Amino acid sequence: MTDEASHDDLPSSPLLRQAAGWISDLSSDPSEQNIAGLKAWYAASPENRKAFASVMFSADVPNAIRAMSEAALGRKFDILADLPGVSPEMSQDREGQAQGAPWGPRRPGTAEPSRRVGNGGRKTWFATAAAAAIAAAAIGLTSNPISDLVASPATAESFRTGHAEIRSYSLSDGTDITLDSDSRVEITIDRTRRHARLHKGRARFIVKADPRPFAIEAGGKEVVSKAGTVDVELDAARRADVRLRAGSADLRTDAGTTKALVINQPIVYSPENVTPTVLAAPPADTRDWPAGWVEYRTVALGTLIEQANRYAKSPIILDDPGLSNLQATGRFRLLDTEAFAKHITEPFGLRVSRRSDGIHLSR
């Protein structure tokens, strides 16, 4: 028996938003990383699978994204089979109908399709419409594009930064956010809630005190704060790193449990390891990243240069791959690429040469 065939309740709103977010991510970036992330999130729990099936029914998902999702997850998302309270007989009744007949809830302003049905067919149609209404009501929709699933009833506002750029923004509720290089976040603030979804990169949220909790979604989980400073990072492999800097915040898991965050104690999780884990000995002190600073007890030179290149207009290149294993320690300002390159070469006696493709370091 599948999870979808046996469920008797609707998914929670956070899970529905997460499912809609995955579809939105695939629509804007159908990369292998996003596909792998969706597969891991979908497989993590029966509740996740129910939520995704509900969204695939209720949202106007583009055909290409629907096909991509079905191929990645190895199953079809049939309209009837995935909804609560719909019996196998109802699915069979649908299969007997004329091909090409519209099905599901009508959008406002469209005429009801003409169809000849007997009493059994009419009962099936009303049951299906009722199930569709339940799913739509659970997500707060009448006409239901993907953007409404993420942001209804308010409109999500998107903020992003380009390469080698750190920017700060003030939100309508008084909250301040700072985005690291190559980052994107969507913010929704209305009368009842404050919500952010980090799509990629890193962001610092200085949450203004308010009766409405501020929920920050990243990698399938939410950080919730009423007043506090929180750093949230999501890398290309969808590994999440959450750090409370001031105030208070809780990490809310898919199962509905919460974990209080401790100031400057990182919590990490990923599609491969969905259980939030305390990082007892973080390799870097990143408290001052909005100013471009990072401090390492010890770090491989290749890793350090990879971090510096996030802000480099002319990348730093190691001519000898063996140099990447050298160990560095200290406090580094990554925003000034020229100064950083000069600073990092001195302890190792390296030579700096500037070419058309970047700044080269060699023995």
Q: Which of 147, 166, 201 is the last residue of a domain?
A: 147
Instruction: List 252's β-bridge partners, or say none.
Output: 222, 258
Beta-bridge mates of residue 330: 296
- The reply to whether 266 and 137 lie within a common domain is no
Q: Is the pLDDT of residue 137 over 90?
A: no
Query: Is the pLDDT score of 360 beyond 70?
Result: yes
Mean pLDDT of 148-155: 49
* Rounded Cα–Cα distance for residues 248 and 183 (Å): 24
What is the pLDDT at residue 318? 95
Q: Is the pLDDT of residue 149 over 80?
A: no
For residues 321-329, give the mean pLDDT. Answer: 94
Contacts of 30 (CB under 8 A, 6+ apart): 65, 68
pLDDT of residue 192: 86
pLDDT surpassing 60 at residue 89: no
CATH code: domain of residue 358: 3.55.50.30
**Alpha-carbon gap, residue 181 to 159, rounded angstroms:** 12
Range of the domain at 337: 285-362
Is 90 exceeded by the pLDDT of residue 359?
yes
Query: What pLDDT is recorded for position 6?
Result: 39
Q: What is the pLDDT of residue 185?
A: 96
- Calculate the dihedral angle through the C-alpha atoms of 196, 199, 202, 203, rounding to the nearest 10 degrees: -20
Q: What CATH number should be reported for the domain holding residue 198?
A: 2.60.120.1440
Boundary of a domain, candidates 259, 278, 297: 278
Indicate if 133 and 10 belong to the same structural domain.
yes
Token pair for 13: 């709103």
Same domain, 123 and 171: no
Q: Among 139-153, 187-201, 333-347, where is mean pLDDT lowest?
A: 139-153
Name the percent of the chain lying above pLDDT 90. 48
More confident residue, 143 or 345: 345
**Is 130 in the same domain as 36?**
yes
Is residue 112 in some structural domain?
A: no
- Indicate whether 126 pLDDT > 70: no
Query: What pLDDT is recorded for position 295?
Result: 96
Chain segment 17-55, per-residue pLDDT in tens = 788 888 888 887 788 888 888 888 888 888 888 888 888
If one compares 213 and 85, the residue with the highest pLDDT of the two is 213
Highest mean pLDDT, choosing among 57-66, 84-93, 251-260, 319-328: 319-328
How many structural domains does the chain have? 3
Would you say 238 and 219 are in contact if contact means Cβ atoms under 8 Å apart? Answer: yes
Contacts from 116-121 at CB under 8 Å and sequence distance 24+?
120/93, 121/93, 121/97
- Residue that finishes a domain, picked among 235, 258, 278: 278
Structure tokens at 223: 């950080």
- The C-alpha atoms of residue 205 and residue 187 are separated, in whole angstroms, by 11
312 and 269 fall within a common domain: no
Residue 238 confidence class, pLDDT cut points 50, 70, 90: very high
Q: Are residues 88 and 174 in the same domain?
A: no
Taking alpha carbons only, the member of 264, 324, 265 closest to residue 300 is 324
Tell me: do 186 and 263 sit in the same domain.
yes
List pLDDT tens digits, range 160-201: 999 999 999 999 999 999 999 999 999 999 888 899 999 999
Which pLDDT score is estimated for 64?
85
Give domain status of residue 111, yes or no.
no
φ/ψ (deg, to 5) at 76: -90, 145
- pLDDT band for position 11 (50/70/90)? low
Q: Tell me the three state secondary structure of residue 55.
A: helix
Q: Going by C-beta distance under 8 Å and a sequence separation of 6 or more, which residues neighbour residue 227? A: 207, 208, 209, 210, 247, 248
Is residue 152 situated within a structural domain?
A: no
